[in-house]
C-alpha cells in the first residue's frame, strides 16, 4: 500500500509492538505528529524536555525488556536527547530515538534548527542512520529495532528529513525485513573444557554477576552454578536483582562502595568467573593490584569488552544463558566449606559500616530511610529507580532486591536527573507495579519539570527526595580528599511540598525516623504521584569507599565504635542488619533553609 513517510513511521512502530512513545513535537517532526492522529493504538507521552523522553524510553526498556521509543524534532530537540542516549549506551539499554531533520535539499546549509545529529551521536549510539527518502523509512526502522535488541542491547537513532515524512512511497513490511547476519559463534569446545577445569579445581572461586545475567535471562542458571559448585556470588550495581538478596550465595555488591568482605573475597580469590560484566573501574579499583592471585573466566556477548580492562585466562563469547547451559552438566558438586568460613570471618570483621543500630536521636539518616522504605514495601511488586550519588549507593546497600528489573539506575554514565523520567517510563512499562523514585535534592532539580508529565498523564509514581542540602557525593569527596573545602556543593532548593502541590500532586515532608513508615504508607495509598521530602543528615557519608587509584581492598571504613549500642527494636531494624557502627560526629554545616511546616 502507498503511504506517506510519516504514516510508514507509525505503521512500523505499531508492527514492532510499540504501544507507548515519549516525545516532544517541533517543526521538522511535525508531519509525523500529524500522522499520529491516525494511530490511536499508540499512546504518546508529552514530556517537558527531550532528555526526559530518552530517559523515559530507557526506563521503559529496563523495566520491561522491550525496546523503548523516544521522538524529537531537529536541532535542539535532537541534541537535548544526547545525554539520555549516552546513558542508554553505557548501560546497554535498547531504545530507538526518532528525530526529525530539515528537508533533504536544505541539508548542510545551516538551515533553521539543523544539526548533524547522526554525527553528534555517532560515539554514543550502537547504530544511527539519516533517512532522506520515504521508501527507506521502513527498512531503517526495522533495522533499528533489530540492532537495538540483538546481541548486547543499545540505543539506535533514526534521523528522518521532513520531506521524507511528507512524500509517499509503497509500504512493504516484509520487503523491509532486516538484513540477515551470520549467527554468533559459540565458544569452542576447548575453551569450555578449560573453563570447566578451572571451575572444578578452584579452591577460592567467586562469581561476578553483572547486568548481563538479567538481560540474558540467566538468573536460574547462575544460581544453579553457585549452588552446585558452592561458589559465592558478588554482584555489580547493575546486576542487583539478578541474584536474590536473600540467597545465601549472594555476598552483596562489589566495588567502590560495595561490601568490604565482598571486595576482600575478590582480592583473595583464586578464580573469578565474570558473567555479563565489563570490569569497569568502579568495580576493579587499581587494575595493577586487582585480584592478583586469581585466574579469570569471562563470559561476555560483546567481544570488545574481553581483555579491554582486565586480561582473562578464558574468554567464552556468546549469550550467557546459552553458555551456562552448556557448562552446567559438567560442573562438579562441591561445598567449599573452608572458603565460606573465611568469607564469613571477613564479613564479621567488616560489619562496622552499618548504622542500623544507631539510637533514634532525632537525626534522620538516609540509610534509615532506604531500609525503612524497603521494609514498608515488602509483599508488593516494587521497582526502585534511583538517581546518581550517595542515595544511589545507600539504596544498593540497604534496599534488598529479590527480583530482576526491580532496580533501575544509571551506572556507566552516572547521569544526574535520570531517576524521575526513567521512573515514569518504568511505570508505563509495568503499570501494575509500585514505582519509587529515590533521588537526591540536586539531581531531582535537574528534571523535576517531568512532574508535570506525571500530572498530565495521571500517573502514579512515588518520589522519595533524600534531601541533605548538598551535592552529597561530591561533598563526600571534598571531605575526604579536599580538606572539607565545600566549593559549590551546598545547594538550596524549593519547598518540595509546595512544588508538588503546584502541579496538583501530593507533597509530604519527613524529618523523624518514626514518621518514615507511616508516610510511606500514606504515599502508597494516595491515588496519584506523591513527592516525599526526607530531610536527612547533611554531612552523612557512604561507607565503605575505595579511593580512586587504590586497591579494591584498601577501603575507607566507618570508624569502629567504642561500644556497641543495644538494638533499637522500636525502629524496626532487622537483626540481620543490626551491625555495630559509630555515632556520627557533629560537624559545622553551612546554613540550611528550612521551609515552614504546612498547617
255 close to 237: Cβ distance less than 8 angstroms: yes
Backbone angles phi, psi at 480, to 5 degrees: -80, -40
Q: Is 473 annotated as catalytic?
A: yes
| Grid coordinates belonging to 317 | 563469547
Q: How far apart, in whole angstroms, are the C-alpha atoms of residue 384 and residue 371?
A: 13
Peptide linkage before 544 cis (omega within 30 of 0)? yes
| Grid coordinates belonging to 535 | 530531610
- Which letter does DSSP use for residue 545 in this model? B
End-to-end CA separation in angstroms for the chain: 63
Q: How many residues does the chain have?
A: 599
- Which letter does DSSP use for residue 171 in this model? -
Give the alpha-carbon dihedral of 55, 59, 60, 65, to 10 degrees.
130
> Which of the following is catalytic: 162, 295, 296, 427?
162
Q: How far apart, in whole angstroms, are the C-alpha atoms of residue 206 and residue 232?
A: 5
Q: Is 162 annotated as catalytic?
A: yes
Q: How far apart, in whole angstroms, are the C-alpha atoms of residue 294 and residue 204?
A: 9
Q: Quick one: 154 exposed, middle or buried, by C-beta within 10 A (0-12, 13-18, 19+)?
A: buried
> Which of the following is catalytic: 7, 50, 395, 539?
50
Q: How far apart, in whole angstroms, are the C-alpha atoms of residue 205 and residue 257?
A: 21
> Which of the following is catalytic: 473, 508, 545, 555?
473
Cα torsion angle, 43, 430, 253, 334, sign: negative
Q: How far apart, in whole angstroms, are the C-alpha atoms of residue 17 and residue 141?
A: 13
Q: Is 112 annotated as catalytic?
A: yes
> Which of the following is catalytic: 113, 227, 456, 538?
113
Q: Quick one: 517 exposed, middle or buried, by C-beta within 10 A (0-12, 13-18, 19+)?
A: middle
**DSSP E strand stretches across 430-503:** 434-440, 462-467
At 365 the three-state DSSP class reads coil
Q: Quick one: 425 exposed, middle or buried, by C-beta within 10 A (0-12, 13-18, 19+)?
A: buried
Of 468, 402, 403, 437, nearest in space to 530 by CA: 437
Q: How far apart, in whole angstroms, are the C-alpha atoms of residue 50 and residue 30?
A: 15
472 close to 539: Cβ distance less than 8 angstroms: no
Of 581, 554, 586, 552, nearest in space to 568 by CA: 581
Instruction: Beginning with the edge strand found earlier in the chain, give each strand of the sheet holding 295-300 in spatial order.
Output: 250-253, 233-235, 205-209, 271-275, 295-300, 314-317
Q: How far apart, in whole angstroms, are the C-alpha atoms of residue 295 and residue 571?
A: 45
At 593 the three-state DSSP class reads coil
> Which of the following is catalytic: 38, 105, 112, 498?
112
Active site residues: 50, 112-113, 162, 473
Amino acid at each position: 500500500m502507498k503511504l506517506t513517510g510519516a504514516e510508514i513511521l507509525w505503521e512500523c512502530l505499531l508492527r514492532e509492538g510499540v504501544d507507548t512513545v515519549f516525545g516532544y513535537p517541533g517543526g521538522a517532526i511535525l508531519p509525523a505528529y500529524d500522522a499520529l492522529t491516525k494511530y490511536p493504538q499508540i499512546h504518546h507521552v508529552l514530556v517537558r524536555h527531550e532528555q526526559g523522553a530518552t530517559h523515559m524510553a530507557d526506563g521503559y526498556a529496563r523495566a520491561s525488556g522491550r525496546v523503548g521509543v523516544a521522538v524529537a524534532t531537529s536541532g535542539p530537540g535532537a541534541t537535548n536527547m544526547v545525554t539520555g542516549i549516552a546513558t542508554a549506551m553505557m548501560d546497554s539499554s535498547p531504545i530507538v530515538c526518532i528525530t526529525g531533520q530539515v528537508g533533504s535539499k536544505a541539508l548542510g546549509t545551516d538551515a533553521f534548527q539543523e544539526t548533524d545529529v547522526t554525527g553528534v551521536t555517532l560515539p554514543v549510539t550502537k547504530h544511527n542512520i539519516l533517512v532522506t527518502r520515504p521508501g527507506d523509512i521502513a527498512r531503517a526502522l526495522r533495522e533499528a529495532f533489530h540492532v537495538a535488541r540483538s546481541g548486547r542491547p543499545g540505543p539506535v537513532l533514526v534521523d528522518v528529513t521532513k520531506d521524507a515524512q511528507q512524500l509517499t512511497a509503497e509500504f512493504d513490511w516484509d520487503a523491509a525485513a532486516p538484513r540477515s547476519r551470520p549467527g554468533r559463534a559459540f565458544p569452542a569446545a576447548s575453551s569450555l573444557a578449560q573453563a570447566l577445569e578451572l571451575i572444578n579445581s578452584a579452591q577460592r572461586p567467586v562469581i561476578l554477576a553483572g547486568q548481563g545475567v538479567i538481560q540474558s535471562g540467566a538468573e536460574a542458571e547462575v544460581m544453579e552454578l553457585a549452588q552446585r559448585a558452592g561458589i559465592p556470588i558478588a554482584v555489580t550495581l547493575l546486576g542487583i536483582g539478578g541474584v536474590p538478596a536473600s540467597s545465601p550465595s549472594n555476598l552483596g555488591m562489589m566495588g567502590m562502595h560495595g561490601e568490604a568482605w565482598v571486595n576482600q573475597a575478590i582480592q583473595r580469590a583464586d578464580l573469578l568467573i565474570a558473567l555479563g560484566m565489563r570490569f569497569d573501574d568502579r568495580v576493579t579499583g587499581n587494575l595493577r593490584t586487582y585480584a592478583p592471585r586469581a585466574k579469570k573466566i569471562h563470559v561476555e556477548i560483546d567481544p570488545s569488552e574481553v581483555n579491554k580492562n582486565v586480561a582473562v585466562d578464558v574468554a567464552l563469547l556468546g549469550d550467557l544463558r546459552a553458555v551456562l547451559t552448556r557448562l552446567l552438566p559438567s560442573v562438579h558438586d562441591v561445598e567449599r566449606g573452608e572458603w565460606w568460613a573465611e568469607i564469613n570471618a571477613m564479613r564479621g570483621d567488616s560489619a562496622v559500616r552499618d548504622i542500623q543500630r544507631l539510637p533514634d536521636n532525632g537525626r534522620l539518616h538516609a540509610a534509615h530511610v532506604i531500609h525503612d522504605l524497603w521494609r514498608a514495601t515488602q509483599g508488593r511488586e516494587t521497582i526502585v529507580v534511583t538517581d546518581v550519588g550517595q542515595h544511589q549507593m545507600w539504596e544498593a546497600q540497604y534496599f534488598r532486591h529479590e527480583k530482576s528489573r526491580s532496580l533501575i539506575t544509571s551506572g556507566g554514565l552516572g547521569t544526574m536527573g535520570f531517576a524521575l523520567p526513567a521512573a515514569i517510563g518504568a511505570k508505563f512499562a509495568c503499570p501494575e507495579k509500585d514505582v519509587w523514585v529515590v533521588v537526591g535534592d540536586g539531581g531531582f532539580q535537574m528534571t523535576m519539570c517531568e512532574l508535570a508529565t506525571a500530572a498530565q498523564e495521571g500517573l502514579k509514581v512515588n518520589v522519595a527526595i533524600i534531601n541533605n542540602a548538598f551535592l552529597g557525593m561530591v561533598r563526600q569527596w571534598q571531605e575526604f580528599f579536599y580538606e572539607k573545602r565545600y566549593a559549590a556543593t551546598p545547594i538550596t532548593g524549593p519547598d518540595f511540598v509546595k512544588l508538588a502541590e503546584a502541579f496538583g500532586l501530593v507533597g509530604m515532608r519527613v524529618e523523624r525516623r518514626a514518621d518514615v513508615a507511616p508516610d510511606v504508607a500514606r504515599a502508597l495509598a494516595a491515588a496519584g504521584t506523591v513527592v516525599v521530602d526526607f530531610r536527612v543528615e547533611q554531612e552523612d557519608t557512604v561507607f565503605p569507599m575505595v579511593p580512586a587509584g587504590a586497591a579494591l581492598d584498601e577501603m575507607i571504613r566507618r570508624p569502629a565504635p567504642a561500644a556497641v549500642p543495644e538494638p533499637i527494636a522500636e525502629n524496626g531494624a532487622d537483626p540481620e542488619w543490626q551491625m555495630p557502627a559509630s555515632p556520627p560526629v557533629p560537624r559545622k554545616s553551612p546554613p540550611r533553609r528550612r521551609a515552614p511546616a504546612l498547617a
